[in-house]
Amino acid sequence: MIDPRALRTFLAVCRANSISGGARLLHISQPSVSNAIAQLEQSVGVALFERSRAGISLTAEGEVLLRRAEAMDALLNGAQEELRLTRQGVVGPLRVGGTPGALVSLLPAAVRTLEAQAGSFALHAVERADHDLATLLRQGEIELAFVTTGIETPPDDLEEMTFSQDPFALIVGRANEHLPSEISLRDVMTMRFVLPEAVGAFRRQIDALFMAADVSVPQDCIRCDSLLTTKAIVRGSSRATILPMQVAAAELSIGVLRAIAIREAVFHRSIGIRKVKGARLSRLAEQLLDILIHSSRL
């Protein structure tokens, strides 16, 4: 049986990258930390650190234990925060993450339903790239990750659920009112674009549209991961972007942006969530997941 206190000591050493640094983080003596690590290594039967004149580094077994220690720390901190909020009559906290497009496509509508069902609740949402979201899930920093789905098989320790599909369109401002209602990307290669910067499923799908049109992805473009900034640039210039319709729905509804069908967009973007396989979700996370599942069946 692993002593949770020893696991937190191990985590402090990892975060400080030294025995002495871990001692300072925990406000205890260095010999106490050294003894705790030695006892932990004895209890698990493997060396957790490789020691050299340059310092310490994790062994393969140490890397495995670090992930568990991070998840345990997030769980304990979450329990403390949940108890504090419960005393105030607030449900939560629920921490979610996502890519910008997936969050804006799914979370706002789900939150409206959640407000009617849960009353007062605490929700934290962060925008991150796909590979960062997987790390946050494994560390227990978030419970659900909102992502583009169906592009690749998720890692063995994560599971994926799809809730919605959304067609890509060429999004332009009023400076491009002359364009027809449907185009091929081959016909607009003289235009200047605003396209995503981060390498992930969303960008790969946009790149695939240019490949389907048998043209190169424009090099003379603004690379931007902020959807708000992207839409503002397109709205106030002659530049164009490619976005799922739901992502630009607010601006399309008031006419400051316009969506043009792309002939090569024969596939729709699928969006949903990823979570740690078999993980027990918090009550608020379960409610949010149930809302997403129910809405996808309507």
259-282 per-position pLDDT tens digit: 999 999 887 789 999 999 988 898
Q: Do 200 and 129 touch, CB atoms closer than 8 A? A: yes
At 208, the amino acid letter reads A
Query: Do 167 and 120 form a contact (C-beta atoms < 8 A)?
Result: no
pLDDT at 77 over 90: no
Phi, then psi, of 119 in degrees rounded to 5? 70, -130
Distances (CA, A) of 61 to 5, 44, 58: 19, 10, 8
> How confident is the model at residue 119, as a pLDDT?
84
Residue 92 backbone class (left: φ over 0; alpha: ψ -120 to 50; beta: rest): left
260, containing H or E segment: strand 258-262
269-276 vs 158-166, strand pairing mode: antiparallel
Look up residue 156 and give its amino acid: D
- For residue 173, CA distances in Å to 195, 217, 235, 254 come to 15, 21, 4, 12
- Triad 246, 183, 176: Cα angle to 5°: 75
Confidence at residue 232, expressed as pLDDT on a 0 to 100 scale = 97
User: CA 152 → CA 13, 147, 160, distances in Å?
Assistant: 36, 12, 10
Q: What pLDDT band is residue 297 in, cutting at 50, 70 and 90?
A: low
Listed in sequence order, the DSSP H helices in the chain are 4-16, 19-26, 30-44, 60-87, 100-118, 130-139, 201-212, 227-235, 249-253, 283-296
Give the confidence band of 86 by pLDDT, cuts at 50, 70, 90: confident
CA distances from 178 to 175, 181, 234, 241, 258 (A): 8, 9, 15, 16, 11
In angstroms, the CA 285 to CA 281 distance is: 6
Higher pLDDT residue, 83 or 244?
A: 244
Q: Angle formed by the axes of helices 30-44 and 4-16, to 10°?
A: 120
Q: Token pair of 158, please? A: 């994560």
Average pLDDT value for residue range 234-261: 95
pLDDT higher at 125 or 92? 125
CATH code for residues 4-76? 1.10.10.10
- Measure the CA angle with vertex 209, ends 208 and 215; round to 5°: 95
Residue 5: alpha-carbon gap to chain centroid: 30
Domain boundaries, the chain: 4-76, 90-165+270-296, 168-267
- Asked whether the beta carbons of 58 and 66 are under 8 A apart, the reply is yes
Instruction: Report the candidate in 184, 175, 173, 162 with the shortest Cα–Cα distance to residue 105.
Output: 162
- Tens of pLDDT, residue by residue over 101-153, are 899 999 999 999 999 888 899 999 999 988 899 999 998 889 999 999 988 88
Could you tell me which residues are beta bridge partners of residue 193? 221, 240
CATH fold of 168-267? D-Maltodextrin-Binding Protein; domain 2 (3.40.190)
Task: Assess contact for 99 and 128: CB atoms under 8 A.
Answer: yes
Same fold, 90-165+270-296 and 168-267: yes
Q: Whole-prediction pTM value?
A: 0.73
CATH architecture of the domain covering 90-165+270-296? 3-Layer(aba) Sandwich (3.40)
